[in-house]
Structure 1
């Protein structure tokens, strides 16, 4: 399969992941286990952006491989740091999204990197940029969640 095909499959995998998280109450899990001050509206907006980014990276895959590689990095970072490690640290408490992280995120993301590598689209700079971009994409909503309670960012103050 081409990188573009894998990129579209990555978006489909993310869709399945979002469904799993929603179905198994990711919000309350994230509050209890990850101590994130998250609401369902945050979940909806963040995942809407992830879907938009997924479509964009798939469209750009043929001409800008950094985009799908960053999306693949985002998927692996999400899977490892927001599902697998919390599952282990919590003594096996189910993490909504864990199944799709293991069954879809890791295999699809690895396949994207392998395809790009075999097509000669990955060099050191591209690999580093993709991993950094994926990490920044994962960190961005978490940072915003934590900043919004700070008085400077509150819009309900005089």
Structure 2
């Protein structure tokens, strides 16, 4: 399978992941386990952006392999830091999204990186930039969630 096909598959995997999170009440889990001040509207907007980014990275895969590699990094970072580690730290409390993270994210993301390696479009610089980009994409909504309660960012003040 080529990198473009894998990139589209990654978007499909993310769609299944979003469905699992929604179905098993990710919002209340994130509030209880991760102490994130999240609402369902945050979930919807953030995941809409993830879907848009998924389509963009799949379209760019052939000409800019950094895009799907960053998306693959985002998937792995999400799986590890937002599902596996919280699951372990909480003593095995189910994390909505854990199943798709394990069953879909790891195989698809690893396949994307292996395909890029096989196509000779992966070097140390690209790998580092992809991981940093994936980490920044994962951190961005979390940082914004935490900033919005700060007085400077509140729009309900005079």
TM-score, length-normalised on structure 2?
1.00
Aligned to 2:138: 138
Aligned residues: 158
What runs of 5+ residues in structure 2 fail to find an aligned partner?
none
1:44 paired with 2:44, answer: yes
Aligned to 2:108: 108
1:35-69 superposed Cα distances (whole Å, 9 cap, x missing partner): 00000000000000000000000000000000000
CA–CA distance in structure 2, aligned partners of residues 50 and 12 of structure 1: 11
Runs of 4+ in 1 over 6 A off after TM superposition: none
**What is the correspondence of 1:5-154 to structure 2 with a 5 Å cutoff?**
5-154=5-154
1:100-132 superposed Cα distances (whole Å, 9 cap, x missing partner): 000000000000000000100001110000000
Aligned to 1:3: 3
Once the two structures are TM-superposed, the CA of residue 19 in structure 1 deviates from its matched residue by: 0.1
CA–CA distance in structure 2, aligned partners of residues 51 and 96 of structure 1: 18
TM-score, length-normalised on structure 1?
1.00
CA–CA distance in structure 2, aligned partners of residues 61 and 151 of structure 1: 41
